[in-house]
Amino acid sequence: MAIRIMVTITQAKKRDLSEVLGLLRKVGLPVKGVDDQLHNFFVAREKSDLKGCGGLEAYGNVGLIRSVAVDPPFQGQGLGHSIVRSLEALAAEKNLSEIYLLTETAETFFAELGYVTIHRDSANPDIKRSSEFASLCPASAACMKKTLR
Ligand SMILES: CC(C)(COP(=O)(O)OP(=O)(O)OC[C@H]1O[C@@H](n2cnc3c(N)ncnc32)[C@H](O)[C@@H]1OP(=O)(O)O)[C@@H](O)C(=O)NCCC(=O)NCCS
């Protein structure tokens, strides 16, 4: 999908933290642990305004995508897809073999990007120890996986 707004996607810096937390709260996603993982986040800005973000946590040789969010007025223009592609490029750079995620709201969005819904119990054991799996995301969330290599 071609992105239809002019945004720059870059790795997050410490100074991005409060805006990232604000965006996550706005779209109803958990913020716990984001400060520790901010170096693994991307931020999408149009001029100086934050329009989107997303993070990739690495556990052994597998990754966990979390906190993919686009500011509601800018949704539906391809930005979410671009953020996920940036996170996948980072995962490939880190030589990760699989990416997992949990979502209560965006299963169709991730399915379009090649993620497959799996039973949560069959996820990689390292990923299951992440706080997202252990406590942050409710049991009702869909668990999705994409194999990179
Ligand atoms: C999910 C989200 C990041 C998508 O961002 P976006 O910029 O709107 O996505 P894109 O424009 O790249 O993609 C739009 C496509 O995804 C689909 N899509 C977008 N959000 C969706 C959702 N919540 N559920 C299902 N499909 C969704 C759209 O139907 C559209 O498909 P189409 O082009 O075939 O019509 C955004 O809706 C969001 O911030 N949601 C709240 C936070 C969230 O649920 N994050 C995911 C959990 S990590």
pLDDT, tens digit, 9 for 90 and up, residues 97-127? 999 999 999 999 999 999 999 999 999 999 9
Determine whether the shortest distance from the Cβ of 70 to ligand 1 is under 6 A: yes
How far the first Cα of the chain sits from its last, in Å, is: 23
CA distance 27 to 79: 15
CA distance 70 to 116: 22
Determine whether the shortest distance from the Cβ of 105 to ligand 1 is under 6 A: yes
pLDDT per position as a tens digit, 23-59: 999 999 999 999 999 999 999 999 999 999 999 999 9
Determine whether the shortest distance from the Cβ of 2 to ligand 1 is under 6 A: no
Count Cβ atoms within 10 A of the Cβ of residue 77 and give its class: 0-12 exposed, 13-18 middle, 19 or more buried: middle
**What's at 132, amino acid-wise?**
E
Q: For residue 7, report the distance from its CA to the centre of ligand 1, in Å.
A: 17
Residue 103 phi/psi, 5-degree rounding, is -145, 140
Which band of pLDDT confidence, cut at 50, 70 and 90, is reported for residue 92?
very high
pLDDT above 70 (res 135): yes
- DSSP string covering 114-129, please? T-EEE-GGGS-HHHHT
The domain limits of the chain are 8-147
CATH of region 8-147: 3.40.630.30
Determine whether the shortest distance from the Cβ of 85 to ligand 1 is under 6 A: no
- Mean confidence (pLDDT) of the chain: 93
Name the token pair of 112: 């379009």
pTM of this prediction? 0.93
CA distance 136 to 57: 14
Q: For residue 124, report the distance from its CA to the centre of ligand 1, in Å.
A: 25
Q: Which of 15, 41, 20 is nearest to 30 (CA)?
A: 20
CA distance 144 to 81: 16
